[in-house]
A and B are shown apart, each in its own frame.
Chain A
Amino acid sequence: MRSNRFKALRCKISRGGFSDERLFTLPSGCSGVASLQYVWHNDGRPLEEGEPPLGQVIDGQVAVRVIEVAENGGALVALPDGQSAEVAADELIDRPSRVGEHVSVGS
């Protein structure tokens, strides 16, 4: 059975400087960089290399690892670029698929 440490958060996603790089922004305003395999469309589909189109921002999900859940309803999570962030535990959602399960066409 898969550990419940591996969750996702809703976020905004845009293209980074490289084909494997996506920028994510959490609702709190916290932003970071993730490899393509750590992000999904809002409906759970993996992002492909050309998505989203340059300059566009889409709703999506980013993979996080739960480090700690506090009694006050907060959770400390590790983001794909090594940052950690405090979020509301009820913002955590199940990941659509395993990280690395989907290999983008052309990658």
Chain B
Amino acid sequence: MYLSDRDLRWAIECGKLIVDPKPDKIDSTSIDLHLDSIDQAKVWDIGAFQRDKAIDGHEPMELRIGRFEYSKFAPKYLKPPTDNKDDLVFRRGNQIVIKPQGFLLWQTKERVGTPEEGANLICFIDGKSTRARTSLLVHLTAPTIHASWSGKVTLEIANLGPFHFVLEDGDVIAQITVAMITSIPAENMKRAGSVTYRQTEVTGSAG
């Protein structure tokens, strides 16, 4: 069951739902999320990736997704957009411009989620429908913020349309809806899915 504006406000007030900073307004069933400061916009350094692959003697653009480890990949290849207007995503002063086929990651200003103890809510991140009609895609997959997790959300943003989108710090970019779950999760995770103690080659994934 999804929470209405009254229940969203109640959940924030009693600490069952974390939205920090607190929202100025709450829509009928959702809360808007805003882009964080411009230095939290990041793109993949494809050039560096290609160079590393070539050095290793692999196909330059291939990424073996089954072995993908974000925690090892991101420090090497995530970088701020440059001011080079030839790039699909570039910085222009305090703005980020996304040309067609451009893709970037950008953190939300808000820390959202639920407290670790006794969480009985989950949140879903979604784009804004009117903006989506321009072909701006926001948060393409993994929209669920599971119970007992909170933090700033890293949004995937892509331009599939003909326009050049201009984004700034503080822009409303996404929204969350919140649902009540039937009981507090027992966390009986499958052992098969766990990372084995003393294992040195790990293939875990976030999200």
Sample of 10 A–B contacts (CB below 8 Å): A16-B71, A16-B75, A28-B195, A81-B204, A81-B206, A83-B204, A83-B206, A84-B193, A86-B191, A103-B20
B199 sits at the interface (CB 8 A): yes
Q: Is the CB–CB distance between B195 and A84 below 8 Å?
A: yes
Q: Which residue of A lies closest to B142 (CB)?
A: A82
Q: Is the CB–CB distance between A84 and B40 below 8 Å?
A: no
8 smallest beta-carbon distances between A and B, as pairs: A35-B151, A20-B152, A17-B78, A81-B206, A83-B204, A84-B194, A85-B195, A86-B197
The docked-state distance in angstroms from the alpha carbon of A21 to that of B196 is 24
The docked-state distance in angstroms from the alpha carbon of A19 to that of B36 is 10
Q: Which residues of A contact B148 (CB under 8 A)?
A: 65
Q: Is the CB–CB distance between B150 and A85 below 8 Å?
A: no
A44 sits at the interface (CB 8 A): no
Q: Is the CB–CB distance between B191 and A76 below 8 Å?
A: yes
B107 sits at the interface (CB 8 A): yes
Question: Number of B residues contacting the other chain (C-beta, 8 Å)?
Answer: 44
Q: Which of A29, A84, A99 contacts B200 (CB 8 A)?
A: A29
Q: Is the CB–CB distance between B72 and A31 below 8 Å?
A: yes
B87 sits at the interface (CB 8 A): no
Among B93-101, B110-118, B124-132, the stretch that binds chain A is B110-118
| Complex interface bits, A29-58 against B, C-beta within 8 A gives 1, otherwise 0 | 111110111100000000000000000000
Residues of A with Cβ closer than 8 Å to B?
A: 3, 6, 14-21, 23-25, 28-33, 35-38, 63, 65, 67, 74, 76, 78-88, 99-100, 103, 107
Q: Which residues of B contact A3 (CB under 8 A)?
A: 117
Q: Which residues of B contact A100 (CB under 8 A)?
A: 18, 115-116, 150
A94 to chain B, nearest CB (A): 15
Residues of B with Cβ closer than 8 Å to A?
A: 18, 20, 36, 39-40, 42, 69-72, 74-75, 78, 105, 107, 111, 115-117, 146, 148-152, 154, 187-189, 191, 193-202, 204-207
A107 to chain B, nearest CB (A): 7
Q: Which residues of A contact B199 (CB under 8 A)?
A: 28-30
Q: Which of A17, A19, A67, A85 contacts B197 (CB 8 A)?
A: A85
Q: Is the CB–CB distance between B195 and A80 below 8 Å?
A: no
Q: Is the CB–CB distance between B69 and A86 below 8 Å?
A: no
Q: Which residues of B contact A29 (CB under 8 A)?
A: 199-202
The docked-state distance in angstroms from the alpha carbon of A85 to that of B107 is 27
A39 to chain B, nearest CB (A): 11
Instruction: Apart from A18-B154, A29-B201, list 19 A-B contacts with CB within 8 A.
Output: A6-B116, A16-B74, A18-B105, A18-B152, A19-B152, A23-B71, A29-B200, A30-B195, A31-B69, A31-B202, A31-B204, A35-B150, A63-B116, A81-B204, A82-B146, A84-B194, A84-B195, A86-B194, A100-B150
The docked-state distance in angstroms from the alpha carbon of A37 to that of B149 is 10
A33-B189 in contact given A82-B207, A100-B115 (Cβ < 8 Å): no
